[in-house]
Amino acid sequence: MPELPEVETVRRALESALLGRVLTAYRVGKPTFYRRPPERVLKVLPGRALDGVRRRGKYLLLDFAGEELSLHLGMSGRIVIVPDGGPDGPHTRLTLSFGERALRFEDARRFGRAGCRLPPLGPEPLDPAFDADALAAALRGRAAPIKALLLDQRVVAGIGNIYATEALFRAGIRPRRASGRLRREEVARLCAAIKEVIAQAVELRGSTLEDESFLDPEGRPGLAQKMLRAYGRETGACGHPLKDARPRIGGRTSLYCPLCQC
């Protein structure tokens, strides 16, 4: 479940491994992602140098001398740096060759994407422009549960189920609270909690849960799972048993502490 901190960790690893290298070839896996990467985007890349690796929300943006290739890891996507020329794995969906190294995009569930247009995205959570005023404006008049809006990439970009759960736990706000009914002080607390948890998780290079669903492109696990206070736990860091909000919010499990979150 790569979210902003995991994607940022991938970005940094790609930058240090591949920046300045020339893309020599690409190969689309069989089968590839369930949405096929558009050939017209890929075919202009060979011969061009990778001169930038950026991130926007959960999207990676590879800059090739004015041409941009977007990558989204979906749920189970994983980017690995390997020696070029090795055999594909069973879940290799796209390979980008850079001389002696290659970027391999593995994705068991095939929800990942490459070469897609970016949808409208809200502010980056760590951008100073994303503050309590901005969040309050986005929530004003909205009846949807706050958890659903935190997962809505148009409200704020890069947050998924792990860090939405954590931010609400830290802010002491129940996931089903009507967004527009949060008090001003609660919105400010939530905004601060989002920034805090995202910044810490980036610093700790993302969360690697027990299923090891996230490893960076060099195969290293992250450490942010150690600071999770609610996600994936039966007992919160507060010492109280967590509840799973039913019915689900936005189709996702929503753990919260009935005592500490109001």
Q: Does 47 bind DNA (CB under 7 A)?
A: no
Q: How far is the CB of 24 from DNA (least distance, A)?
A: 29
Q: Does 116 bind DNA (CB under 7 A)?
A: yes
Length of the chain: 262
Binding mask 201-240 for DNA (x = CB under 7 A): ----------------------------------------
2 assigned to active site:
yes
> Across the strands, what pairs with 145?
178
Q: Which is nearer to DNA, 96 or 150 (CB)?
A: 150
Q: How far is CA 79 from CA 76, 119, 224, 243, in A?
A: 10, 22, 19, 34
Q: Which residue, 65 or 121, has its beta carbon nearer to DNA?
A: 121
**Residue 43 annotated in active site:** no
- Does 41 bind DNA (CB under 7 A)? Our answer is no
Token duo for residue 213: 């669903």
Q: Smallest Cα–Cα separation from 200: which of 220, 223, 178?
A: 223
The reply on whether position 111 binds DNA by CB under 7 A is yes
Crossing angle for the helix pair 184-203 and 161-171, to the nearest 10 degrees = 130
CA nearest neighbour of 3 among 150, 178, 220: 150
Rounded Cα distance, 166 and 184, in Å: 20
Instruction: List the catalytic residue out of 35, 48, 101, 252.
Output: 252
Q: Determine whether 58 is an active site residue.
A: yes
Instruction: Please state whether 120 falls in left (phi above 0), alpha (psi between -120 and 50) or beta.
Output: beta
Residues pairing with 59 in the sheet: 56, 72
**CA dist., res. 261 & res. 20, Å (int):** 48
Binding-site member from 27, 142, 195, 233 for DNA (CB under 7 A)? 142
**Which residue lies nearer to DNA by CB, 20 or 210?**
210
Which one among 11, 72, 93, 189 touches DNA, defined by CB under 7 A? Answer: 72
Q: Is 198 in the site for DNA (CB under 7 A)?
A: no
- Lay out the site mask for DNA across 86-105 (x = CB under 7 A, - = otherwise): ----xx--------------
User: Which one of 17, 22, 61, 144 is in contact with DNA (CB under 7 A)?
Assistant: 144
Using the contact rule CB under 7 A, the part of the chain among 14-22, 43-51, 153-161, 195-203 near DNA is 153-161
Query: b/e for 54-81, b at 16 or more Cβ within 10 A?
Result: ebbbbbbebbbeeeebbbbbbebbbbbb
User: Based on CB atoms, which residue is closest to DNA, 23 or 202?
Assistant: 202
Give the DSSP per-residue string, 33-79: -SSPPPHHHHTT-TT-BEEEEEEETTEEEEEETTEEEEEE-TTTEEE
Binding site for DNA (CB under 7 A): 1, 3, 31, 34, 57-58, 72, 74-76, 90-91, 108-111, 116, 119, 142-145, 148-149, 151, 153, 160-162, 179, 247, 250-253
Catalytic residues: 2-3, 58, 252
